[in-house]
Structure 1
């Protein structure tokens, strides 16, 4: 079942959530503009590979960069919809 709305009101404007959605959108449209070979290289560089975390001390940053990579339109739309629905509540609870 897909949630279509959020019944918990926000106490503030969710700027961090909107910023993350915008940034994800910019990165996703940049991914769409890349040729397949470059997209594979980008995914290999910025994607989180669990085996790499145990062997490469420089791979910790992929825990952050992987959240901006999406495998297609449905993956992107699903993630952004979920972020839109729940991000404001998380931001209210934790602060932005």
Structure 2
């Protein structure tokens, strides 16, 4: 009969384990505060539907308001359709599954 060192009373999981050299402690969730980035440049991920439902916060039309927050830069992810290139710009339609939006890139 075949005999190995793992037969009998010994277990595959007995023996010395790996122990961290220093005690680790989870951070206290009450000490966490979200970053204060109001007005900071950054791109907010939005859907085409959210952009279609947004409104302009002022008459200069440089800032949109989405869900009560002013937005200047957005990030969209979708399928590019109907791409047209010229020397000055690229025009295309972006479909993200919630709707379509026409985009001009200069």
TM-score, length of structure 2 as denominator length: 0.19
Largest Rg, 1 or 2 = 2
Q: Which has a greater percent of strand?
A: 2
Q: Which of the pair has the greater relative contact order for Cα pairs under 8 Å at 6+ separation?
A: 1
Q: Which has a greater percent of helix?
A: 1
TM-score, length of structure 1 as denominator length: 0.20
